């Protein structure tokens, strides 16, 4: 039975005209009629054409409807995405081109289906994948599937660097950096306005002051961080650090602190009676009075200028440092979330010299502007004292350095985190920025200032770091 | 890196079908574009989308702004608001890192709710579950006359109302949401403190009435 006969038998059966066995021969004759057989061939050709067309139509619609996305790109960041035809089940697809990548810095490789490159522009793009199916003739008009591509702006370039208002009554320099000899040691320090302030043309709220008194051999270094929510915090921080240096200046340019010095000596030699207790008393008296003096200065300023004391909210940390014949004495005081750390000569141990007032528990952070800190029973825990033969680094830093470099307070207790910071300063960082801590390096302040521009997502506060080495 | 988690709870019940749902999608898109221009937001804000109709689903898990892709959203069914509250509570438990001695956790999440109807499920029992989770703030938006601000008032003191559910007012709402996320991310970077109430956010546009 040939195809024509088979088709007609089926057709007649469907039309309720079944061909009986007896009429089989007649049907054969019917099929031999040229007109009839030609008609059947034509019908079959049309049918096949319709089926092919429907199949193609259906297939294209399926591809068009199939949700397809590629990951977002970011300007300045290497990107790679693949239009994986096998994975999408597009094995019958022949890609002609991918349009829409012009001027983006990205390229499409038809061979591998990958989009690669580093975007140079940002914005929402609509890519158009032009394709044909294998079963289609080459002259067929290509189909177009649109693929959205989001190119984020480079977050680093979104930050503006607006100068602060230099005509403001309490203006201060956005960035400072300096070095100062402290007897046998050298101080290098920088205080820089954070990106969050630069972005809005705000002021640097951090501050730093120091004094070295050759007559008595003592040095004072004070660092403060004005509270972001206090409108005159920059002035509060400035007054606080200067008050500490001013407080000690008369004594340290005169007779020094003889009683304290004697006790430090006895303490080191393990002589004298009740030395520890007397020493505590001396530290408490001298450093406590300096802190109270700073508080009073702020109070007086607030009173004179008729502003609220809390508008001057600032943290305060300071150290007193002196080299004796038996080694170095480091005395400290702190209120707030700054950090004072002393690293030993061979850098195997680090000592956190202060207790941090951290926001989330213990009733929030503390400022030198708060009278209650002086009445609190834990006031004595704000002092520190260490007598060492020598040390490799003494660090004072605000949270702008502490947050990105240590993250948690627990990390401050780990010598390896301090070693990491020292290696970071020595150039082990993604920008390869190096601070050569050597007395012969005349560029050390500039190097420290440049190093302090390090990038840390989410950490764009003012940064102050003082290093004695 | 401390993230600022942001949860969007969107009503996708049948009544939102058509222009309102299109306006919501458009609003979220505009919000994304605006936040991506904000250096603080792009570094800190992470976004999740939860929709609720006959059930609640987390369409997009907490995702950083640069990787976030707009999900396809359709509207049909009832208003399983209670389920949405339960779901966001479990998402917060799973996705938001807590602060411990060894790690600094995420900032407290911001939750934005938008609904045009009345809950059709047992939302009362879900409420305590949601309230156990600490959020920096939750803002609920009652869109149109069909929404019940009294219900939302029990969820959060911060309730705003849109008189009409049209493209313009929904767009205004999302513009304000994006400004609020921007302010929160700037504030935490600047002061290390979270925004805690409506009064610390940018003033809402005229279309948005604050329900007291």
- Counting every residue written for chain B, the total comes to 212
- Give me the CATH number covering residue B133: 3.40.50.410
**pLDDT bracket for residue A362 (50, 70, 90):** very low
- CA A418, A424, A428 angle in degrees (round to 5)? 135
Mean pLDDT of chain B: 88
Q: In 10 A of CB A258, how many CB atoms?
A: 10
Comparing CB atoms, the residue among B65, B66, B104 nearest residue A407 is B104
- Which of helix, strand or coil describes residue A129? strand
Average per-residue pLDDT for chain A:
94
Please count the structural domains in chain B: 1
pTM above 0.90, yes or no: no
Last residue of a domain, one of A65, A98, A117: A65
Q: Which of A78, A157, A158 to mutate to probe the B interface, most B CBs <10 Å?
A: A158
Say yes or no: A271 and A320 in one domain: yes
Give how many domains chain A has, as a whole number. 3
CATH of the domain at A217: 3.60.40.10
Examine the pLDDT at A359 and tell me if it is beyond 60: no
Q: How far is CA A344 from CA A92, A192, B129, in A?
A: 69, 27, 51
On whether both A423 and A276 belong to a single domain, the answer is yes
Q: Are B69 and A150 spatial neighbours (Cβ–Cβ below 8 Å)?
A: yes
Asked if the model's pLDDT at residue A380 lies above 80, the reply is yes
Q: Which residue out of B3, B33, B40 would a mutagenesis test of the A interface target, given it has the greatest number of A Cβ atoms within 10 Å?
A: B40
| pLDDT of A360 above 60 | no
pLDDT digits (tens, 9 = 90+) for B141-187: 999 888 888 999 999 988 988 888 888 888 888 888 888 888 888 77
Question: At residue A325, what are phi and psi to the nearest 5 degrees?
Answer: -60, -35
* Residues A115 and A227 reside in one and the same domain: no
pLDDT in tens, A209-242: 999 999 999 999 999 999 988 999 999 999 999 9
- Whether the pLDDT of residue A413 is over 60: the answer is yes
d(CA A202, CA A215): 40
Would you state the pLDDT for residue B171? 84
- How close, in Å, is residue B208 to chain A by CA atoms? 28
Query: Do the Cβ atoms of B190 and A197 come within 8 Å?
Result: yes
pLDDT at A378 over 90: no
Confidence of residue A388 (pLDDT cuts 50, 70, 90): very high
A82 and A106 co-located in one domain = yes
Strand ranges, E, within chain B: 4-11, 45-52, 56-64, 110-115, 137-143, 158-162, 208-211
CB contact B212 to A (< 8 Å): no
Say yes or no: A16 and A139 in one domain.
no
Contact A290, A318 (CB under 8 A): yes
Could you tell me the residue range of the domain that residue A40 belongs to? 3-65
- What's the pLDDT score for residue A272? 83
**Residues A106, A151: one domain?**
yes
B183 touches chain A (CB under 8 A): no
A189 and A284 share one domain? yes
Is B184 an interface residue toward A (CB < 8 Å)?
no
Over the stretch A272-329, which tens digit does the pLDDT of each residue have? Answer: 889 999 999 999 999 999 999 999 999 999 999 999 999 999 999 999 999 999 999 9
Task: Flag whether residue B99 sits within 8 Å of chain A, measured between CB atoms.
Answer: yes
Chain A contact for B42, CB < 8 A?
yes
Do residues B54 and B78 make contact, with C-beta atoms less than 8 angstroms apart? yes
Measured from the Cβ of residue A78, the count of other Cβ atoms closer than 10 Å reads 10
Q: What is the model's pLDDT at position B189?
A: 64
Taking residues B95-107, what's their average pLDDT? 84
A402 and A344 inside one domain? yes
Q: Which residues pair with A213 in a beta bridge?
A: A218
Last residue of a domain, one of A96, A124, A158: A158
- Is the Cβ of B43 closer than 8 Å to some Cβ of chain A? yes
Kindly determine whether residue A196 and residue B67, on different chains, have CB atoms separated by under 8 Å: no
| A130 and A54 co-located in one domain | no
Is the CB of residue B68 less than 8 Å away from at least one CB of chain A?
yes
The two three-digit tokens of residue A98, written as one number: 């991918």
- Which residues in chain B touch residue A67, judged by CB atoms under 8 angstroms apart? 72
One domain, residues A276 and A374: yes
Of the partner residues A71, A150, A199, the one whose CB lies closest to the CB of residue B39:
A199
pLDDT of A363 reads 42
B19-38 residues touching A, CB cutoff 8 A: 33, 36-38
- B122-145 pLDDT, tens digit per residue, is 999 999 999 999 888 899 999 988
> For A19-63, how does the pLDDT look when each residue is reduced to its tens digit (9 = 90+)?
999 999 999 999 999 999 999 999 999 999 999 999 999 999 999
Q: Which residue of A has its CA nearest to B106?
A: A458
Contact B14, B54 (CB under 8 A): no
- Tens of pLDDT, residues A100-145: 999 999 999 988 999 999 999 999 999 999 999 999 999 999 999 9
């Amino acid at each position: 039975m040939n195809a024509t006969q088979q088709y007609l038998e089926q057709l007649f059966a469907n039309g309720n005209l079944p061909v009986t066995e007896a009429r089989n021969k007649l049907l054969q004759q019917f099929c031999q009629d040229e007109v009839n057989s030609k008609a059947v061939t034509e019908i079959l050709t049309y049918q096949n054409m319709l089926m092919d067309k429907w199949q193609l139509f259906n297939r294209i619609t399926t591809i068009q409807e199939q949700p397809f996305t590629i990951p977002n790109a970011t300007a300045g960041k290497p990107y790679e995405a693949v239009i994986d035809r096998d994975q999408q089940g597009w094995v019958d697809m022949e890609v002609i081109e991918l349009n829409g990548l012009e001027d983006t810095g990205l390229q499409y490789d038809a061979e591998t289906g990958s989009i690669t490159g580093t975007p140079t522009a940002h914005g929402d793009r609509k890519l158009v994948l032009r394709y044909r199916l294998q079963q289609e003739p080459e002259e067929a008009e290509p189909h177009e599937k649109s693929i959205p591509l989001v190119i984020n702006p480079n977050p680093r370039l979104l930050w503006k660097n607006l100068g602060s208002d230099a005509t403001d009554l309490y203006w201060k320099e956005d960035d400072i950096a300096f070095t100062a000899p402290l007897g046998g040691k050298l101080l290098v320090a920088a205080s820089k306005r954070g990106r969050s302030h630069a972005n809005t043309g705000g002021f640097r709220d951090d501050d730093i002051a120091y004094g070295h008194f050759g007559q008595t051999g003592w040095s004072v270094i004070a660092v403060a961080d004005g509270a972001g929510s206090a409108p005159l915090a920059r002035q509060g921080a400035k007054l606080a650090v200067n008050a500490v240096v001013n407080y000690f200046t008369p004594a340290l340019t005169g007779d020094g602190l003889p009683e304290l010095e004697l006790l430090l000596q006895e303490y080191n030699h393990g002589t004298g009676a009740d030395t520890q207790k007397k020493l505590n008393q001396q530290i408490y008296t001298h450093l406590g009075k300096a802190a109270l003096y700073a508080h009073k200065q702020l109070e007086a300023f607030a009173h004179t200028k008729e502003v609220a004391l809390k508008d001057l909210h600032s943290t305060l940390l300071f150290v007193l440092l002196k080299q004796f014949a038996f080694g170095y004495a480091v005395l400290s005081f702190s209120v707030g979330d700054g950090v004072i750390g002393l690293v030993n000569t061979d850098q195997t141990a680090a000592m956190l010299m202060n207790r941090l007032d951290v926001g989330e528990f213990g009733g929030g952070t503390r400022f030198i502007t708060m009278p209650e800190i002086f009445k609190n029973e834990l006031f004595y825990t704000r002092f520190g004292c260490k007598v060492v033969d020598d040390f490799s680094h003494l660090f004072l830093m605000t949270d702008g350095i502490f947050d990105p470099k240590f993250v948690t307070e627990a990390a401050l207790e780990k010598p390896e985190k301090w070693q990491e910071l020292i290696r970071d300063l020595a150039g082990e960082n993604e920008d390869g920025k190096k601070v050569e801590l050597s007395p012969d390096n005349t560029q050390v302040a500039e190097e420290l200032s440049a190093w302090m521009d390090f990038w840390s997502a989410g950490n764009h506060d003012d940064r102050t770091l003082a290093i004695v080495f | 890196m401390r993230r600022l988690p942001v949860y969007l709870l969107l009503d996708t019940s049948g009544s939102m079908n058509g222009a309102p749902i299109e306006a919501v999608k458009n609003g979220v898109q505009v919000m994304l574009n605006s936040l991506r221009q904000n250096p603080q937001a792009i570094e800190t804000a992470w976004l999740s989308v939860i929709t609720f109709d006959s059930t609640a689903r987390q369409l997009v898990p907490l995702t950083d702004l640069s990787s976030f892709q707009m999900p396809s959203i359709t509207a049909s069914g009832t208003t399983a608001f209670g389920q949405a509250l339960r779901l966001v509570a479990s998402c917060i438990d799973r996705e938001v890192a807590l602060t411990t001695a060894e790690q600094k956790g995420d900032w407290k999440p911001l939750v934005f709710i938008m609904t045009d109807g009345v809950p059709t499920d047992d939302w009362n029992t879900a409420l305590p579950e949601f309230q156990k989770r600490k959020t920096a703030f939750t803002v609920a938006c009652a869109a149109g006359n069909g929404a019940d601000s009294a219900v939302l008032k029990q969820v959060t003191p911060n309730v705003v109302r849109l008189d009409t559910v049209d493209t313009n007012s929904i767009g205004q709402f999302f513009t304000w949401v994006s400004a609020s996320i921007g302010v929160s991310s700037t504030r935490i970077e600047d002061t290390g403190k979270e925004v805690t109430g409506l009064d610390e956010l940018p003033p809402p546009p005229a279309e948005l009435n604050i329900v007291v």
